[in-house]
Amino acid sequence: MNLDPGMTRERLETGCWPDGAAYVDGRYVPISDARISVLDFGFTRSDACYDVVHVHDGAFFRLDDHLRRFRASLEGVRMSIRHDDDALTAILAECVRLSGHRDSYVAMVCTRGVPPARVRGAISGISNTFIAYALPWIDVLSAEIQRRGAHVMIASTPRIPSESVDPTIKNYNRGDMVRAMFEAEDAGADTAILLDLAGHVTEGPGFNVFAVSGSSVRTPASGSLEGVTRLAALELCVELGLDAATADLTPEDLHDADEVFLTSTAGGIIAVTRIDNRILSNDSPGPVTRRVTDLYWKWHRDGRHATPVAY
Ligand SMILES: Cc1ncc(COP(=O)(O)O)c(C=O)c1O
């Protein structure tokens, strides 16, 4: 079952693991058999970085951007993997092929690794753990919520300060997000948006945030992951002739916006129809959000930024 790219391959059947396929320790396995040590600092310290790219209709979308961001995250947390971009692409594609799905959630993860026995103080020199996996498509918010528009609350839990954990490194330090999600659940909202300590809008669990006022479209300039879908949305807005840019946003900017939408690899462009006690765009996805969403999926149909998977 050793299918490391470049090695002699016993070719497993396409779609043999429909629940998901993983690459761990240089081997491809069904997702249910994918394991790392409970002593790995990725588990005991959330000391990990990762990236997620989606496959739509048999092709990766903006794979280059995800690989570039993953490399930057690795560098930011001083981790390394032995695979170059071609090898990494081959591993991700093989996971997708083995899962067989034409619409897939594909993760690449690096954890600090297992520390040496009897020593806990040092983090340099630990051999990092690399894992990749492909799952059937995942949405950050359900298809039903996406159809009606998300109901969002602005959480009182602030985002972990960027000075402590750099949000541009895709990481597993999610304690603030988990608290905010419980706040949202208690308030009957679908999800939450977090502010930084200065009161500016940052992001939410799994998505970036955009505010639309007339033809002006703004997303936070700092304090959030530089989402690949955020980048796509900025480009989509330009193609639609909108004035798209980054800026500091306050909760009032969201409350007073004509429309608010979220962006995520896991779902694309998602309308927000309620925010705190405000109803936006007559409680249904607004016209700008719909245009951006339509063009986002048209880019997929047109093969823009596509890297096909060989099934
Ligand atoms: C905290 C956070 N912000 C933003 C995003 C959106 O980024 P992308 O569009 O690259 O999926 C994610 C995606 O998982 C995320 O976890």
Distance 214 CA to ligand 1 centre (A): 26
Query: Which residue's alpha carbon is nearest to atom 2 within ligand 1?
Result: 206
Please give the helix or strand (H or E) that residue 152 lies within, else none. strand 150-154
Ligand 1 close to Cβ of residue 181 (< 6 A):
no
User: Cβ atoms within 10 A of the Cβ of 8, count?
Assistant: 7
Give the pLDDT score at 6: 44
Ligand 1 close to Cβ of residue 267 (< 6 A):
no
Joined tokens for residue 181: 């999600």
Give the pLDDT score at 9: 56
The atom of ligand 1 lying closest to the CA of 174 is 1
The atom of ligand 1 lying closest to the CA of 229 is 9
Q: Are strands 216-220 and 243-247 parallel, antiparallel or unpaired?
A: parallel
Contacts of residue 176, Cβ cutoff 8 Å, sequence gap at least 6: 157, 158, 159, 160, 194
DSSP class of residue 132? E
Give the pLDDT score at 2: 42
Query: Hey, what's the torsion of the CAs at 191, 196, 198, 201, to 10 degrees?
Result: -50
Joined tokens for residue 210: 């955009």
Ligand 1 close to Cβ of residue 263 (< 6 A):
yes
Give the pLDDT score at 46: 96
Smallest Cα–Cα separation from 205: which of 174, 227, 245, 171?
Answer: 174
| Domains of the chain and CATH, by start | 21-137 (3.30.470.10), 143-301 (3.20.10.10)
Q: Which residues of the chain have pLDDT under 70?
A: 1-9
Give the pLDDT score at 3: 46
Ligand 1 close to Cβ of residue 94 (< 6 A):
no
